[in-house]
Every structure is written in structure tokens, then in C-alpha cells.
Amino acid sequence: MKKTDVIIIGAGPVGLFAVHQLGIKGLKAVVIDNLDKAGGQCIELYPDKPIYDIPAVPECTGEQLTQRLLEQIKPFKTELFLNERVDEVHQEKENWVVKTNNKKEFIAPNIMIAGGVGSFEPRKISLKECEKFEGKSVFYAVKNKDNFKNKNISIFGGGDSALDWALELSKTANVTLIHRREEFRGAPHTLDELKKTGKVNIKTKYQLASIEGGEKIKSINIKSDDGKETKIETDYILSFFGLIMKLGPISEWGLNMDKKTIKVNTENFETNKKGIFAIGDICTYPGKLKLILSGFHEGALASVE
């Protein structure tokens, strides 16, 4: 069990800024997030979209803002626990104990919920037989690209993640990119690069029909709009169908909920539970504005001892 001063749930911009505000007051924090990287909504939904409401920064992207915040908190040597969903919160005397889906445990007198509109979870492949391969041959994120070297990879999706990883993994693996539509949502220049390399086999208007294999996948069958089936030798499936937002277990922690937000007082952004604070899009109060700037203000006040 890891002991600290504050457990921050959410590694988006507001959670990262809270690390800084706590740090300059001499308080140690850990940050837990369900995603595989810091940045939250900024990184997952609009990494290239311009942001204009950061003081003294006329314009920056979600990715740039995240990198600057990570640079800002470097001196505090804060540990970020990614790919961890908080499943349980309970009180032990003066402390709160947090448990994650991967059985990690944390203890602290304070929790700061900076979870935006909830946790982001990958939209999974609807084919039932995929479930038994999840985490072994079917993945919804890439943690270590070296694991895919010299393998047959089938990538599903038409957005930036699918295109980016198809391009990157094609340098060392045999990649097939499969999308249910003719048009791709991802950046046109990435699609142009993919076509230029000629290394990626692109299949459009196809969907996953079935999987063949025992413990591991050997091949997949994809079906076109006109019913034609094609077999593809496959070691790994990577699926990038986007993310769904879920409030998740937060709704079960006994907090004063208002629809999908948490009511707080505006003095220090504490909830109805002593020692649990909420900042950013997840919290609500009269006059609330859902801006990153507002989240920074809330984090600063919540960090005051």
C-alpha cells in the first residue's frame, strides 16, 4: 500500500496543475488515471485542437498544454499510475484507502477527484469471441510497440490512432488496416503517408466477422458490405474504435451527486465527504463554467491546507 498526502484521480490538465499547487505547498501527491498516458480529454479527444483560454498563452494544442504541465511538475517527482481505474474508495480512521482494478492500493488523508466527465474506456469490438483474447492477442492500446515486431497485425479503425499506429508499426511488422467505411476520419497527411509507403494493406468497407485460433489468434475473417469474406493471417488485433466516457464507480462512493457531477463548496471544493475534493468538469456549484481555466482556479483553492 502506497502512502501519500493526496491521491489525485485524473491525469488531465486540471489534475496535473493540482500536483503543482500541492507541490509548492510541500504536499506529495500520486496521480491515478484510467488512460495509458497523461492529458485526459485534451489528449484523447482533441490533441491538435487549439486552446485559447490559458493565461499568457495565446494558443496551444491539448498535447502542448499537457507536455508543459508535465514539465512544470517535474521537480516534484510525482508518480503517475496509468492504465489504472479506481474501483474502490473507503475510509480507515483519518485516511482514505483507494483500490484500483489492478489491485494497487493507496492511502492518504485527502483525495482530489479531477476526473473530468468520468473515465475514458475503449469502445470494444462487439464480436463476443474477442473477449477471451483480450490482453493476449486483442488490444485497445499500445504499451510497448516492440511486442509487435515481425508479427502480423490487423488494425481496426479509421481515426488518428488507427492511422498513426498503422504507419508506425508497419516499419517493423506486417500490417493490415481495416475500416468499415471508405473515408477515414484521421489526418489526411497520415493517410497519404500510409499509401506512399505501400507497406500497409488497406481494406475498406470491411468488418470483423470471425476469429480462428486456440490460446492465440491464428487468423481472422473479415466481411465486406457485399458479403464477401477474406481471411487474413493475424497474430494480434489492435482496435481503435474511439473511447466512451463512463462515470464509473465514482457514483457509488456516497458523494453528493447532481446528475453526473459532484456538488462542492466553493471555499475549498470539498465534497460532502471530509477529505474528498472535486475539481474540473466533474464538480458543480452555482455559476460553474466548464473551462480549463476554471479547473486551474478550483485546483489552486482545493490545494490550500
Q: What is the pLDDT of residues 188-209, one digit of tens each?
A: 998 999 999 999 999 999 999 9
pLDDT of 173 above 70: yes
Mean pLDDT of the chain: 91
At 94 the pLDDT is 93
Cell 473479415 sits on residue: 222
At 37 the pLDDT is 86
Quick one: which of 223, 208, 207, 245 has its CA closest to 133?
A: 208
C-alpha cell at 271: 465534497
pLDDT of 119 above 90: no
Q: How confident is the model at residue 48 (pLDDT cuts 50, 70, 90)?
A: low
Tens of pLDDT, residues 5-44:
999 999 999 999 999 999 999 999 999 998 888 988 777 6
- Phi first, then psi, for residue 284 (nearest 5°) are -140, 150
Q: Give mean pLDDT, residues 280-285.
A: 93
**Please, are residues 90 and 80 in contact by the beta-carbon 8 Å criterion?**
no
pLDDT of 45 above 80: no
Would you tell me the crossing angle of helices 188-197 and 160-169 to the nearest 10 degrees?
A: 30
To which H or E segment does residue 244 belong?
strand 243-246
Q: How confident is the model at residue 81 (pLDDT cuts 50, 70, 90)?
A: very high
- The structure's pTM equals 0.66
